[in-house]
Structure 1
Amino acid sequence: MKPAFLFIFSFVFLVYFFANWYIFSKGLRAIEITNYKTLFTWVFWILVVSFPLGQFLERANPNAFFRLISFAGSHYLVLLLYALIMVAFIDLVRLFDGWINFIPQTIKSGILSGENIFLFVSGISLILIIVGHVNAANPIINKISIEVDKQAGSRNEIKAVLLTDIHMGVIIQNGRIQKMVNSINELNPDIILFGGDLVDHNPVPVIKKQLGEYFKQLNPELGMYAVTGNHEFIGHADVSIDYLSNFGIEYVRDTVINLGGVLNLAGRDDRDKPRFEEGEKRKDLADILNGIDSKLPLILMDHQPVEYDKAESAGVDLMLSGHTHKGQIWPFGYITSAIYENHYGLIKKGNSHFYTSSGYGTWGPPVRIGNRPEIVEITIHLK
């Protein structure tokens, strides 16, 4: 085990443990009835263990029981987050009250009693999980259009459908994929583009549930294409790619394809590839695009929304990315917004358009709060 990984793992474990201990000690103090304290203790620590246990079991050959553990543990992570935010805020208010005593004693022992606060924090957290789960399971169709001053044969427009971050695996399986396929077919696109992280870190449940079979129902005129995301490399990229390639999906890996004289489609391996495949680096964009027909529209797929300057300099008309999930769970959207130049949506730099999708699926908890999952319909209007 590498020292850097061991350090990060130890740090994350300590943060997780102390966050749970903080919430547990506050909750235990708030409960007055002894029998409820015992029940709370058992339920709480079972949920605490279920998250790391579920993450470990996901990497094996998960069955229905393992999936249940992972499902419970991932949802608990959201509960922990919002309980932590609320309890920390309440403690901060109490700290100020200790200094200036602005909360009347009758309110402290009444509506702001320990048990009432316990019920409030638990109730709000559960409501957020339920609402966020329903939200995550119901993507929107986001329609955008751009103008490109180029020609594509006799066509005056190209309709593409973009899906990123599906994360097929232990959590996202048959029902969600069939729903996705139905939605895509209703849009009747010319081309379907998968912007990375089709598969979560373990391809075993994808193959076991034969999720690739659903893609046979898709038959766009110009084909289906995909790039790798970081999660393909976290797992076994070659296994995922080999499997899904059997169902009409062509992976574009550090190369460019001329699609019947209609457009050029370039795809880059994810920039995190060297972290998981030692000695392997992705090609520079200039090398990938060397010698292409610049008169045709050029679409670039790159899972992470990075190196916009290189794409603009290379004459890319439209760059498509995902990865950020738009934060997936509030308040993490503030973090992705600070990290990336464009963590969500459409922007234009020079003659180049850049779109970052919030993604179709979820990583970890199947919950979205503060954003919507999406299927993106992109209409490219041509000269």
Structure 2
Amino acid sequence: MFYLGWNGLVWLKAIFSFQQETVYWLVITIFSYAYILGRLVKPLSWLSIVGSIWFGYIQYGLLLFPIANLVAWVLHLTGVPGQTSVVVVGTVTAIMIAIIFITGLYNAYSPVIRKYEVTIPKKTEMKKIHVAVASDMHFGKLSGVAHAKRLVKMIDRIKPDIILLPGDIIDDEPEHFQKKNMGAIMKQLDAPLGIFGVLGNHEYYGREIPQFLKEMEKVDIRILMDEVILVGDSFYLLGRKDKTDSRRKSFQQLVNDNNIDVSLPLLAMDHQPAELKEAQESGVDLIVSGHTHRGQMAPNHLITKRLFELDWGYLKKGQLHAFVSSGFGFWGPPLRIGSRSEVLEIVVQFEDREGY
């Protein structure tokens, strides 16, 4: 907090002759604790929005300010007056942060459709299905009504046979989802084979899963909790509880306990893409996940790439087609750098083994 605040204060003094240090440090302190205050004190819940945006400033401030300090120091050594170097370097840094925020906001609130086509070598009553996948909406304060309307509009363009929502549909508690009547928007989603979802880690963090399930039931979204169902007499859909729940069943348990006809395709939803090998070994043909946000703000993607075998995109692993979405929403700051909010359109062709 002090390092970020000091850099800002030095620049403000140099360019505007700013003198209100007490007020400045009070504002910086409020920003630094805004997220915590907003979460703990209901009348101050709006502060969590300020705190979320501040997280973005912290990350890119800590990345840019050391470089800016070094450049200013080098300029000073070469004879450039101290105030001039602070003004020039500080202004360039401020512009860079502004560009980062503008770009990040655009990427967060301007989702795209990413289309994939795969073939599963199993014969079913259906020759082909269109699957729409949206994960990590984090519907709540910052991912609100307008963003939910974008989701409905984009999925309607796909005209899917089935819609899959692999976790983090809401941002912790369902309170803001309810207050904004976002269920009425989600109820506009339509797919002849149904709309299905699973729990993400944030549904667990909110500790209001029963209330969340009621909200989803109202809008005809079926949340699968360690369940396997037969869809259209053509393929199975498996939905796991999130990895947060240590008591959830393994892929193998779910397959064995449900007497699955292995000649039919098996599609799965698992919020965190942490067990692709287990899914492949259990006979899953296609799996969709989210959770990673592809790091959401670069260079965080370097971390998610190390944590997960597949942190974004598509991977063929044996018979398994694995997809990990960067998510439709965001957590914390409404920023995406090096990632983009998205909906997946997956066209799945079913063919018998001879035709594959």
With normalisation by structure 2, the TM-score equals 0.91
Residue identity matched to 2:285: D
* Match of residue 111, structure 2, among 125, 136, 139: 139
Q: Does 1:126 align with 2:107?
A: no
Q: What is the alpha-carbon distance in structure 2 between the residues aligned to residue 222 and residue 114 of structure 1? A: 61
CA gap 1:215/1:317 in 2 versus in 1, 3 angstroms = same
Q: What is the alpha-carbon distance in structure 2 between the residues aligned to residue 270 and residue 52 of structure 1? A: 30
Map 1:79-158; keep pairs closer than 5 Å. Answer: 79-92=57-70, 97=74, 104-106=78-80, 109=82, 113-153=85-125, 155-158=126-129
Q: What is the alpha-carbon distance in structure 2 between the residues aligned to residue 27 and residue 50 of structure 1? A: 13
In the alignment, what sits opposite 2:33? Answer: 52
Question: What is the SS of the residue equivalent to 2:249?
Answer: coil
Question: What is the SS of the residue equivalent to 1:261?
Answer: coil
* Match of residue 258, structure 1, among 213, 230, 248: 230
Displacement of 1:170 in angstroms is 1.6
Map 1:220-231; keep pairs closer than 5 Å. Answer: 220-231=191-202
In the alignment, what sits opposite 1:76? Answer: 54
Map 1:265-304; keep pairs closer than 5 Å. Answer: 265-274=237-246, 281-290=247-256, 291-304=259-272
Q: Deviations along 1:325-370, whole A, 9 cap, x unmatched?
A: 0000011011111111100010011111111100000000111111
Question: What is the SS of the residue equivalent to 1:273?
Answer: coil
Q: What is the alpha-carbon distance in structure 2 between the residues aligned to residue 36 and residue 243 of structure 1? A: 54
* Match of residue 177, structure 1, among 145, 148, 156: 148
Displacement of 1:240 in angstroms is 1.1
CA gap 1:51/1:295 in 2 versus in 1, 3 angstroms = farther
Indicate conservation of the 8 Å contact 2:139/2:170, yes or no. Answer: yes
Displacement of 1:41 in angstroms is 5.8
Map 1:342-353; keep pairs closer than 5 Å. Answer: 342-353=310-321
Indicate conservation of the 8 Å contact 1:51/1:74, yes or no. Answer: no
In the alignment, what sits opposite 2:331? Answer: 363
Q: Does 1:378 align with 2:346?
A: yes
Alignment length (residue pairs)? 348
Q: Deviations along 1:55-82, whole A, 9 cap, x unmatched?
A: 44246657xx733x33332222212221
With normalisation by structure 1, the TM-score equals 0.85
In the alignment, what sits opposite 2:221? Answer: 249
Displacement of 1:44 in angstroms is 5.8
* Structure 2, gaps ≥5 residues long: 352-356
User: Identity, % of aligned pairs?
Assistant: 32
Residue identity matched to 2:251: L
CA gap 1:136/1:200 in 2 versus in 1, 3 angstroms = same
Q: Aligned-pair RMSD on alpha carbons?
A: 2.3
Residue identity matched to 1:46: V
Indicate conservation of the 8 Å contact 2:128/2:350, yes or no. Answer: yes
Map 1:34-49; keep pairs closer than 5 Å. Answer: 36-39=17-20, 42-43=23-24, 45-49=26-30
Q: Does 1:66 align with 2:66?
A: no
Q: What is the alpha-carbon distance in structure 2 between the residues aligned to residue 60 and residue 255 of structure 1? A: 38
CA gap 1:221/1:129 in 2 versus in 1, 3 angstroms = same
Q: What is the alpha-carbon distance in structure 2 between the residues aligned to residue 29 and residue 171 of structure 1? A: 32
Q: What is the alpha-carbon distance in structure 1 between the residues aligned to residue 25 and residue 95 of structure 2? A: 15
Q: What is the alpha-carbon distance in structure 1 between the residues aligned to residue 82 and residue 76 of structure 2? A: 14
Deviates more, 1:27-36 or 1:302-311: 27-36
